[in-house]
Structure 1
C-alpha cells in the first residue's frame, strides 16, 4: 500500500481550508504568510494582511487555502476571537529569538483557544529561526514535548525562517494536512495505538476486500485493494516488500494465505506513526467514511426515502432473512441467543454496537446471561428501523448487508388510509402507554419483556421503550413497540401537532384500587383523544385496569362503564403484572391497531363538532335543493311566458 499520487483530486470533499495565524505581536505572522504565498520575503509589512488565498494546485491535495492574519492590538481581541472561532486550523507563532513569546503559548494562547472552545488542529510555529542565539541551541523536541503533553490539540511543531526561506511552505502544508487528514479520529497519541472506531472501520474494509473469505488478503486481493484506493497496481516486488515489513515486526501479520487482519491493522498504524495519515484517510474515504469514521450520508440515505408523519418504515422480508442468517452465523455456542460478546463481535465492523445506548439498551427481552433471542434481536432491529431508519440502514451496511438498501426497507401505507380500508398491513405497531404515576406502566413494560415484578417502586422520568414479538391466532407474529410516556411528559408530547402521527394505538393504564388514578387516566384519555380529533391523527384507545390483585375502588365498575360507553371504547381490560395475568392484553393491543376504526374514542367536543358539521352540511343541502327548485321554476316560467307571447 502506498500514498496517493500528487495528481489525485481532492479526496476529502472539502470546498476549502481556512487557516488562522495568531500569536504575539512581532513574532513574524505577516512575514510568514507573505513569504509562504509569494516565496518572497517582504520589504515592508502592513499591520494586518487581508485574507490571503493560495491557489487550488498549491499543494498536492488540491484544496484551496485561505490564510487569515490577525492583529496584535489589545483593542482587536474580539476580532481575533471571532477569527479563531471560524478557523479550520490555527497556526500559533512564537519568535525563536524571544523566549517569552514561547512561554505565552502555554500561558495565554492555548488556554484562550480552549476558553473559546476552538476544537481544531493547532500547528505551533517558531519563526525567525535565523535570529536564534547560536549559544542557546536546544532541540525543538525538548522545548515542545512538555507543552504537547499538556495540550493534545497541538498537531505539529515546526521552526522556520521567512527571511532565509527555511520550511515556510511546510507550515501551511502541515496545517492543511491536519484538516484534511486529522490524527485525532485515527490514533491515540498516549497509547500509540489505533482508536477503536478506526480499527472497526479498517476491519470492515478488510472483510470486504477478502473476497474468498479465508481471513487473509492474497496477492491478488492486495492488488485489487491498491487499485481501488490509489488507482495504481502494486508491483510483485512491492507486495513482497510490504509483507516482509509486516512479518519482521509482527510474525502473525502474514500467513501462507497472505496478509492477515492483524497485519493489515499494523500497516496502518505504521503509516500513521510515520506521518503518512493521508494513506489511511484515502482508504477510509474510498470506502465511504467521513471524518467521524462513520459512513457519510450520501452512502447511507437513499434519496427516495420520503414519508409523511403517519407513515412508518419497516424492514422487508429480504432484510429479515439476512438478519436471521447473521444471527445464526454469530451464535457461536449455538444456544439460540446472542450473548454480549457475540453481539459485540457481530457489530465489530460498526463504529459501535447500536444496542448499547438508549433507547435500544434494555428495550428487548434478554436471558439470564444477557443474551438476545432471535425474536429479541429482530425486535431491536424493528425498533431501530421504526425510530431511526437511516441509523438502521447504516448498521445494515456495517454488518455486511449485500443488496440495495431500498430492498431492505419499506415505507408503510398511511394510517388514515388503513382506517378507511379498515385493516392495516403493517408488521410493526407502536403503542403509546399513558397513565398517572404509580399506575403500573413500567411494570407492564417489564412484564412484556418477561422481567420479574419489581419489589420496589421506581419513578420513570424519561420515555422508555419495550419491544417484542406477539404471536396471534393462526401462528402469525407481529412486532409490538410499547412506548411509556411519563405523566409529566404528556403536555410536552402533545404540544406538537404531529404528536400522535407515529402512534398506532394508545393504552391508558390506571391503578384499579385507586379512584384518583382512574380519574387522572380518564383525563389523559380525553386529552389525547381531543388532540387526535383536533389534528386529524385520531388513534384507537384501550383502557387498562392494572393491579387487579388489589380490591377495586367503590363505583369502579359503574364509572368505567359510563366512560367506556360515552367515548365508544371497550370496557377496561383487567390485568395483574404481579400475578402475571394479562388477559391477552398484548394481542388485544395489536388487534386494536390492526382494526383502528373500531376503537377510536369520541369526546364531547368531538361530538359537538360533528353535530355542527352535519347541521351545516344539511343546511347547505337544503339551500342547494331550494336553489335547484328555484332555477327549474324560473326556467319553466320563461318557457311558459315565451309560449304565451307567441300565441298572442
Structure 2
C-alpha cells in the first residue's frame, strides 16, 4: 500500500477551494483567505489511513493552465469543487472540468464536492439534487468515486471530504463495483471466490464457524464472537437465503456480504481481504507477492523446508476428493484452478514423477515433483505456494542448503557427507543407449518397447532410501544436447552426479562416453557408469581400455549391468544415492589425487626392516629359491623333490 497521497482541488473561482483547505487546517471558518493556499502536508499519525497526505489548491485563472496541468500529473485523486447554490458551477463540472481531465489522459479517481450546502434553497431538497443530477453524471463518468456535499462555513463534512479522498486512492470502488448496474464486477467476484476456496480448509464448499473465524483472524487479527457469527448468518439468511446452508456460509453468501460492504461505503473491508491475499489495485496478484526477493548464494541450492512439505501435503489431502491417496486429472485441475495452470506443461507431468497404476499422482510423487521443481527453479515454487495460499511469507516454505560440503573447487566434494535431500543427476550417453528406459524404470514406469529419441531436455524425480533417510534424485536427460550442457561450467557446477550410460550390446556405445570425458572437464564430478540392455548378448566395446579397466584406472567401481526391460536394476539407484551422499567416493579427480597405499614413507620403513640381519635375509632368500625351483621343477619335469641335506 502507498505511504503518501496527493489530493488536488480544482474548480472555478469563488466556490470555496481555498476556504475548504483552510477550514480543515484551522477547524474554523475564515472569511478572507488568499486566492491559492500553499500546499498543505498532513502527517500520517493524524490521518485515519496512516498515510502522509498532501493537499494542493490550484489557481482558477486560465493564464495558469501550465501550473494546473503540472499538479494534475502528480495527483493521486482530484476533487472538483462547485457551489450547490450556483447552478452554473454544477453545470461546469460535467461540461468543462470532467472533459478537461479526460483530455489530459489521466486515470485518476474523481470526487465531486458540492460546497456551500448551508446556502442551498430549502425548496429543492438534497435528495432531488443527488438523484436527478449527480447520479446520471456518475454513470457517464466512471472515474467519479463519490459525491460529497459539505460546508466550509458550517464545518460540515469538511474532514469527511478529505477522508473520502484518501479512501478513493487507497480503497478505490471502481475496480470492485459497477455503480450503473449495482453489481460486483466479475474480476472482484473471481478474486473473492478464489479467496473463499483458499479459506475452505476441508474443501466442502462451505465456510463453517471455525473457518470463518480463521478467515477473520487472518484478515483482521481478531476473532468473531459466537453472537457476531450468528448475526452474520442471519443477515445473509434474511436477504440471500440460498447463501446459507446447514454447514455455514457458501460462496454466494460470502460474495453477498462483500457486496453489502461495498454498497454501504465500507469498501476498505473488502480491500483489506483482497490485499491480505496478495491482490493489487488492478485485482491481479501483485508481483512482490508472487515473486518476493530471494537471493541464493552461488554455493547454495534451494529445497523445500519442513513447513513447505507440510503445506503441500495438506494441499494434496484437501483436494484428494475420493480419498484414494492419489490425485487424478480432475483433482489436479481443481488444485491448479487456483493458479494460471499446471506449471510443468512441457515437463511430461505426471510422467515425470511417481504415479499409481491408473496414472494418478501419489503423495510420494506429488512431493517429489515439488522437490524437483524447487531445486531447478525455486521462484516457480514460491509463486505456486502463493497461489495455493501458503500462510505467511512464502519464503518460509523453502530453505537454502550448501550445495557441497566445505567450500571452494574440489574441496567442496572432498569434505564429508552431504546434508541435502534433493540431488541433480545428469544422464548422458549416445543415442539409443537406454537413458530414457533407465529413467522410466527409476520413476516406476513400464518399459516402452518402441524407441523414441529424446528431443528436448526432460527431468524425472523419485525418492530413494539411503540408510533410513529419504533422498530425492532428479534425473535430467538432454537428448542430442549432451555436449552443450557439458560445455557450460555453470550447469556442471549444479550437477551432483554424472550418470554415464552405454549400451552393452552396441560395440560403439562406450567410446561415446570416453570421448565425452576426454573432450570436457568432467573428472571433478562424481560419476557412475551404467551398462544397459544386459538382457541382450554383451559385445566387446571398441574402446581401449575396455570399460572395466577404464573404470579401474579412474579408481571407480566397475560398470553396473542393468536391464530395465527385465526389471533387473542391480540396485543402481541406491548406488547413485549413496554417491550423492558421499561424492568423494566416486569423483575421479579426488581418487586419482590420492597417494598409492605403498607410499614413499612405507617403502622406506620396509627397507629399514629388511636390513635387520644379512644372514637372515640370505637364509630367507635361499629358502624361497628352493621352494620356487622345487615347485617349478616338479610341475615341468616331474623330478623328485631334492632332499633338504642336498641344499
- TM normalised by structure 2 equals 0.60
Pairs within 5 Å for 1:453-532:
453=448, 457=453, 459-460=455-456, 464-470=458-464, 477-484=470-477, 499-500=491-492, 502-507=494-499, 522-523=515-516, 527=520, 529=522
* Aligned partner of 1:541 among 503, 527, 548: 527
State the 1:389 CA deviation.
6.7
Return the offset for 1:596. Answer: 1.0
The match for 2:54 among 62, 66, 74 is 66
**Structure 1: 5+ residue runs without aligned partners?**
1-11, 114-121, 149-153, 531-537, 612-617, 619-648
Which whole-Å CA distance do the structure 2 matches of 1:575 and 1:554 have between them? 17
C-alpha deviation, 1:193, in angstroms:
6.7
Kindly report which structure 2 residues correspond to 1:164-179, keeping only aligned pairs within 5 A, or say none: 173-179=163-169
- Alpha-carbon distance in structure 2 between the residues aligned to 1:187 and 1:577: 61
Asked if 1:216 corresponds to 2:205, the answer is no
1:124 alignment partner, one of 110, 119, 124:
110
2:543 corresponding residue in structure 1: 557
* Number of residue equivalences: 547
| Structure 1 position 589 matched with structure 2 position 576 | yes
SS in 2 for 1:431: strand
Is contact 2:11–2:97 with CA below 8 Å preserved after alignment?
yes
Deviation at 1:542, TM superposition (A): 3.6
Aligned residue for 2:233? 243
Secondary structure at the residue paired with 1:415?
A: coil
Partners of 2:397 and 2:173 lie apart in 1 by: 35
Q: Which runs of 5+ in 2 are unaligned?
A: 24-29, 82-88, 117-123, 407-411, 595-599, 601-647
* Corresponding residue of 2:589: 602
1:39-58 aligned at under 5 Å gives the runs: 39=23, 43-45=34-36, 52-56=40-44
Corresponding residue for 2:425?
431
Residue by residue, what CA displacement relative to the aligned partner does 1:465-523 show, whole Å, maximum 9, x if unpaired? 32222467x887532112445776986997776x5554321335679979799659844
Three-state SS of the structure 2 residue aligned to 1:65 is strand
Does the C-alpha gap of structure 1 residues 235 and 331 become closer, same or farther in structure 2, counting only changes over 3 Å?
A: closer
| CA offset digits 1:518-548 (Å, max 9, x no partner) | 6598447854537xxxxxxx43124567899
Whether the aligned pair in 1 keeps the contact of 2:371 and 2:472 (CA below 8 Å) is: yes
Match of 2:353 in 1: 364
Aligned mates of 1:306, 1:336 — CA distance in 2: 34
SS in 2 for 1:271: helix
Alignment of 1:327-406 (within 5 A): 327=316, 330-343=319-332, 362=350, 363-366=352-355, 371-386=360-375
2:267 pairs with 1:271: no
Distance of aligned partners of 1:55 and 1:494 in 2 relative to their CA distance in 1, 3 Å threshold: farther
Alignment partner, residue 171 of structure 2: 181
> What's the offset of the Cα at 1:57?
5.1
Inter-CA distance 360–17: structure 2 relative to 1 (3 Å threshold): farther
- Which structure's relative contact order is higher, taking Cα pairs within 8 Å and 6+ residues apart? 1
Aligned to 1:38: 22
Partners in 2 of 1:481 and 1:298 — Cα distance? Answer: 28
Radius of gyration: which is bigger?
A: 2
Say whether residues 1:201 and 2:195 are aligned partners. yes
Shift of 1:282: 3.9
In the TM superposition, what is the alpha-carbon distance from 1:565 to its structure 2 partner? 6.4
Deviation at 1:393, TM superposition (A): 8.3
CA–CA distance in structure 1, aligned partners of residues 36 and 515 of structure 2: 78
Q: CA RMSD in A?
A: 6.5
**CA separation of 1:568 and 1:408: change in aligned 2, threshold 3 A:** same
Are positions 1:313 and 2:303 aligned together?
Answer: yes
CA distance in 1, matches of 2:348, 2:543: 38
Equivalence map 1:410-429=2 (5 Å) = 415-417=404-406, 419-420=413-414, 422-429=416-423
Q: How far apart are the structure 2 equivalents of 1:29 and 1:438?
A: 85
CA gap 1:353/1:166 in 2 versus in 1, 3 angstroms: farther
* 1:421–1:403 distance in 2 versus 1, CA, 3 Å: farther
- Matches of 1:261 and 1:234, distance apart in 2: 21
Cα distance between partner residues in 2 of 1:446 and 1:249: 58
Deviations 1:327-359, CA, capped at 9 Å, x for gaps:
5565342433122443466688x7678867777
Matching residue within 100, 105, 111 for 1:109: 105
